[in-house]
Structure 1
Amino acid sequence: MIRAVVLDIGETLTRDDRYWASWADWLGVSRHTLSALVGAVVVAGRDNADAVRLLRPDIDIAAEYAAREAAGRGERLDETDLYEDVRPALTALRAAGARVVIAGNQSTRAGDLLRSLDLPADLIVTSAEWGTAKPAPAFFARVLEASGHPAAETLYVGDHPANDIHPARAAGLRTAHIRRGPWGHWWADDPTVRAAADWSIDSLAELADIVKE
Structure 2
Amino acid sequence: MIETIVFDVGETITRDDRYWASWADWLDIPRHTLSALVGAVVAQGRDNADAIRLARPAVDLAAEYNAREAAGRGEYLDESDLYDDVRPALSSLRELGTRVIVAGNQTIRAGELLRALDLPADFVITSGELGVAKPQPEFFQRVLSAAQVAPSTALYVGDHPASDIFPAKAAGLRTAHIRRGPWGHLWADSGEVVEASDWRIDSLTQLTAIVGR
TM-score by shorter chain over 0.5? yes
Q: Which residue of 2 aligns with 1:169?
A: 169
* Runs of 5+ consecutive residues of structure 2 not aligned to the other structure: none
Which residue of structure 2 lines up, in the alignment, with residue 193 of structure 1?
Answer: 193
Equivalent residue, structure 1, for 2:38: 38
Instruction: Give matches, 1:45-56, under 5 Å.
Output: 45-56=45-56
- Does 2:22 correspond to 1:27? no
Aligned match of 1:129:
129
* Residues in 1 aligned to 2:167 and 2:53: alpha-carbon distance in whole angstroms: 25
Shift in Å at residue 125 of structure 1? 0.8
Secondary structure at the aligned position of 1:84 is classed as coil
SS at match of 2:176: strand
After TM superposition, where is structure 1 displaced by more than 3 Å over at least 4 residues in a row? Answer: none
Partner of 1:58, secondary structure, is coil
Q: Secondary structure at the match of 2:177?
A: strand
Indicate the residue corresponding to 1:95 in structure 2: 95
- What is the DSSP-based 3-state SS (H/G/I as helix, E as strand, rest coil) of the residue aligned with 1:156? strand
Corresponding position of 2:150: 150
Structure 2 length normalisation: TM-score? 0.98
* Pairing 1:4-15 to 2, within 5 Å after superposition: 4-15=4-15
Offset, 1:152: 1.4
Count residues in correspondence: 213
- Structure 1 counterpart SS, 2:135: coil
Partners of 1:149 and 1:117 lie apart in 2 by 24
Q: How many angstroms apart in 1 are the aligned matches of 2:147 and 2:95?
A: 17
SS in 2 for 1:164: helix
The CA distance in 2 between the partners of 1:82 and 1:52, in whole Å, is 24
Q: C-alpha distance in 2, partners of 1:191/1:57?
A: 34
Alignment of 1:78-89 (within 5 A): 78-89=78-89
Structure 1: runs of 5+ lacking an equivalent:
none
Name 1:108's counterpart in structure 2. Answer: 108
Equivalent residue, structure 1, for 2:139:
139
- Cα RMSD, aligned residues only: 0.8
Aligned residue for 1:76? 76
**1:149: how far off?**
2.5
CA contact (8 A) 1:101 1:146 kept: no
Find the residue that maps to 2:58 and give its secondary structure.
coil
Percent identity over the alignment? 69
SS in 2 for 1:37: helix
SS at match of 1:106: coil
